Structure 1
Amino acid sequence: MLEPAKRYTGYTAYDYLEPGADFREFRYAAQLGRVPAYTGLDLSTEQAERAQRLLETERVISLHEHVQVFPEDMGELREHIRAGREPTGYEGLSRSGLTAVFDNGMDGTCCISSDAGWKYQDVLFDLGVRMADLAHQDFVVKGESLADIEEAHATGRIAHVFALEASTMIENEVDRLDVLYGFGVRQMGIAYSEANTLGSGLKERGDGGLTYFGDRAVDRMNKLGIAIDVSHSGDQTCLDTIARSRVPVFITHAGARSVWPTNRMKPDEVIRACAERGGVIGIEAAPHTTLSPDHTRHSLESVMDHFTYCVDLVGIDHVTFGPDTLYGDHVGLHDAFTANLSISQAHGHVDYEKVEYVDGVENPTEAFGNIIGWLVQHGYSDDEIRKVVGGNTLRVLEQVWF
């Protein structure tokens, strides 16, 4: 684990407020050491030093995370979410080695005013409160451009890119995309499992593809400079979105259905189409997603089975990582919000061994250190590692952002 970044001064979320007076206090999960350290890597001294150098010196970008800290007691989760003040895990991030992180909030479970989530006013509240907190410290900076990422890299800080996993909250109002861009959102999904006005989600029985309104929304995202994600969209909606967009599209957090046959994974056709238009797939690591026949107990090894498959399928220029981790009990979150997150429909009828956490990719702090260690151990060159831990993402952003 890295030492804390030199720019980090110990700030904790909402330090500028008075706990108990300005907001309700909760006991939060540990950001460091919540679970045992991963022991699955067997690196020589030389390999370990090389992995550490790459983590410290390269532009390391997570294409999909949730960097909030969750309550220690997940029975308090809904009360915590209704309070509308999710804390960013600054301490954990200070030891992550990340240059930039795409943080997707929790808007499917943002149940401030409705248990269904995805309400426009709740999303704006969530974004505004998180941004107010970021503005009171200077280690994690708001990332809105390539220049922000480069500045973070040059100054030993982290660029925090606000993202949303779906566009459900815009309903039938395309101008809401402009508002969200103005708030700092720079990446958005089309649909999160459930169909919406733009297109179909991956849990639906049928997929009619991108709607006419979805066409308008994709066009507006292109004009604004919002990167598009199709991770949770239905297969035809993915293909339609990739074809419609005039710039490359991301699959920010998924895996290959040919490796693990669930709706949550993407078929070869979609992964190829994304790559052919210049896009990138980020390999997922949320609990019980990127499993494989060779590694049915979810760990770094099963995640990397999807990585190697996708590299063989579309080439190393079109693969990166979007681990989709958080600080706290991720399995407990899924159990508490299984309906909101469409867990059963995403997994279908495929049996899997339930784990308490994904060994080796449990949170944003440890993810890329172990991923880079695995890549070093398995003989990838510095140039190849540079591409898959950030370079491929930057190449797409150069075409999407302005």
Structure 2
Amino acid sequence: MFELMNFVQKPAYKGYKAYEYLEEGKDYPKIEWAQWDWAGRHVVELEPDQEAMVQEILKKHPYISLHDHPTFYPKDMSSIDHIYDSMRQGRAVCGYEALSYSNIDCIFDNMMDGVNIISSPGGWKWIDIIHDLGMRLCDLAHQDFLIQCKTVDDIFAAKKAGKIAWVPCIEGAAPIENEVDRIDILYGLGVRQLGVTYSESNALGNGMKEDHDGGLTMFGKQCVERMNKVGMLIDVSHCGQQTAYDAVMYSKKPIIMSHVGAKGVWDIKRMAGDDLIKAIGSKGGVVGIESAPHTTMSKTKMTHDLDSVMEHFEYVKNLIGIDHVGFGVDCLYGDHVGVHHAFAAALSTAETANTSYEEVPFVWGLENPTEASWNIIRWLVKHNYSEEDIGKVIGGNAIRVLREVWA
């Protein structure tokens, strides 16, 4: 099913490396980062006519990843202290070159988020979130391949220029504490998507790791109202089921689950139940299917690979229709399984997996944002989806929501 392939590089990329305006080893610590394609480069095999169809679709339709972490992790993942030190430096290294080999036209970058431990092992501190965002914006300002995206027009402009529209996001709202005005501050700094909670509960509601979910709080409702007013896209991917449902129903604008799968395929806390999925679709939102290791597995083969991920896609598509599903693969550049091991407590991996499985070293065909952007569309073409439907799920559905929310 898979073959090695040299991915085609976007010609607009001119070779910029993260923070190259500074001197490594003098202005910031030297760290050996993983190769972005450390697990190989794998693509779904297609017939010549299918290859032609893929290229035609990519020319016409924007490809949007609704949730990713396109930054590097250390090559050496054997030492917890070494991994933690790389995160504490507060200088996440964006994979510009790796992204240049992708088909992505717009990427929703969820920053360091759960591994943002610059000043505290607990993470999620407001000052650290602002530090992370400011550092990345400074790096972004020194290159012209990634364009900070604030409007839907920016997505189309980036695609036309052969570049990538970059959307900074915050995966959970814990950093705003009890300050609703911080939503405005984040928006003012260019953040265009905010999660109601991460896996832990916060002042807005309950996270998915909890055994009991009291739903959206009064402060949570105030925050939903504010996000609607300023034009912030609301994400409920890591919320408890009731909190997520409450946010969907309370919001006057469509919301998304940017990276998730279906409990109907793999029944763990990390996945979404049918009622929640239906609620998102009924309010015009989009469910983005993820592929972070050991999440969107299925009982068909009891493993995690491209086919299991697409089983979740088809389940959601059949439940709420092709107009309400997309992809937020939740990938990174480096050993993703190793990251989960190193940050098991911060990422609540054990509490939200709640089932046994045989671990995979990486997810075939979807190990990083670049590989995922090739194989999702190729899988869809191979399985006889129409150009219209493929255009919807790789970006069209997301754009519909963004036009309503960001306007």
TM-score in terms of structure 1 length: 0.98
SS of the residue 1:162 aligns to: strand
- Partner residue of 2:367? 362
Show the 5 A alignment for 1:3-82: 3-31=8-36, 33-38=37-42, 41-74=44-77, 75=79, 76-82=82-88
CA contact (8 A) 1:2 1:97 kept: no
Letter in 1 for 2:39: V
- Partner residue of 2:393? 388
Query: 1:154 Cα deviation (Å)?
Result: 1.4
1:375 aligns with 2:380: yes
SS of the residue 1:365 aligns to: helix
Supply the distance in 2 between the matched residues of 1:217 and 1:388 (Cα, whole angstroms). 29
1:333-362 per-position Cα deviation (integer Å, ceiling 9, x unaligned): 0000000001111011x1111011000000
SS of the residue 1:340 aligns to: helix
- Partner residue of 1:351? 356
Q: 1:3 to 1:38 in 2, by over 3 A?
A: closer
Letter in 1 for 2:50: Q
Supply the distance in 1 between the matched residues of 2:306 and 2:393 (Cα, whole angstroms). 16
Supply the distance in 1 between the matched residues of 2:386 and 2:304 (Cα, whole angstroms). 26
Quick check: 46-55 or 87-96, which moved more? 46-55
**Over aligned residues, Cα RMSD in angstroms?**
1.0
Supply the distance in 2 between the matched residues of 1:387 and 1:57 (Cα, whole angstroms). 11
Supply the distance in 2 between the matched residues of 1:83 and 1:239 (Cα, whole angstroms). 37
Supply the distance in 2 between the matched residues of 1:139 and 1:289 (Cα, whole angstroms). 31
Show the 5 A alignment for 1:2-401: 2-31=7-36, 33-38=37-42, 41-74=44-77, 75=79, 76-348=82-354, 350-401=355-406
Supply the distance in 1 between the matched residues of 2:328 and 2:50 (Cα, whole angstroms). 24
1:205-259 per-position Cα deviation (integer Å, ceiling 9, x unaligned): 1111000000110011111111000000001001100011100010000000010
CA contact (8 A) 1:297 1:352 kept: yes
Supply the distance in 2 between the matched residues of 1:191 and 1:260 (Cα, whole angstroms). 22
Letter in 1 for 2:34: A
SS of the residue 1:133 aligns to: helix
Quick check: 380-389 or 150-159, which moved more? 150-159
Letter in 2 for 1:47: Q
SS of the residue 1:282 aligns to: strand
- Partner residue of 2:3? none
State, as a whole percentage, how many aligned pairs show the same letter: 49
Supply the distance in 1 between the matched residues of 2:34 and 2:89 (Cα, whole angstroms). 17
User: Which consecutive residues of structure 2, in runs of 5 or more, have no partner in the other structure?
Assistant: 1-5
Supply the distance in 2 between the matched residues of 1:49 and 1:352 (Cα, whole angstroms). 38
Supply the distance in 1 between the matched residues of 2:371 and 2:115 (Cα, whole angstroms). 25
Supply the distance in 2 between the matched residues of 1:115 and 1:295 (Cα, whole angstroms). 37
SS of the residue 1:47 aligns to: helix
1:142-195 per-position Cα deviation (integer Å, ceiling 9, x unaligned): 111112111101111100000111000000000111111111100010111111
1:304-348 per-position Cα deviation (integer Å, ceiling 9, x unaligned): 000011111000000000000000000000000000001111011
Query: 1:73 Cα deviation (Å)?
Result: 1.0
Supply the distance in 2 between the matched residues of 1:9 and 1:53 (Cα, whole angstroms). 25
User: Which consecutive residues of structure 1, in runs of 5 or more, have no partner in the other structure?
Assistant: none
Supply the distance in 2 between the matched residues of 1:57 and 1:6 (Cα, whole angstroms). 18
SS of the residue 2:107 aligns to: strand
Query: 1:56 Cα deviation (Å)?
Result: 4.3
Query: 1:72 Cα deviation (Å)?
Result: 0.6
Supply the distance in 1 between the matched residues of 2:239 and 2:72 (Cα, whole angstroms). 27
Supply the distance in 1 between the matched residues of 2:394 and 2:187 (Cα, whole angstroms). 26
SS of the residue 2:192 aligns to: strand
Query: 1:37 Cα deviation (Å)?
Result: 3.0
Supply the distance in 2 between the matched residues of 1:42 and 1:111 (Cα, whole angstroms). 41
1:82-122 per-position Cα deviation (integer Å, ceiling 9, x unaligned): 00001100001001011100000122110010000000000
Supply the distance in 1 between the matched residues of 2:239 and 2:45 (Cα, whole angstroms). 38
Letter in 1 for 2:86: H
Query: 1:52 Cα deviation (Å)?
Result: 3.0
CA contact (8 A) 1:162 1:186 kept: yes
Supply the distance in 2 between the matched residues of 1:374 and 1:179 (Cα, whole angstroms). 40
SS of the residue 1:303 aligns to: helix
Supply the distance in 2 between the matched residues of 1:53 and 1:126 (Cα, whole angstroms). 37
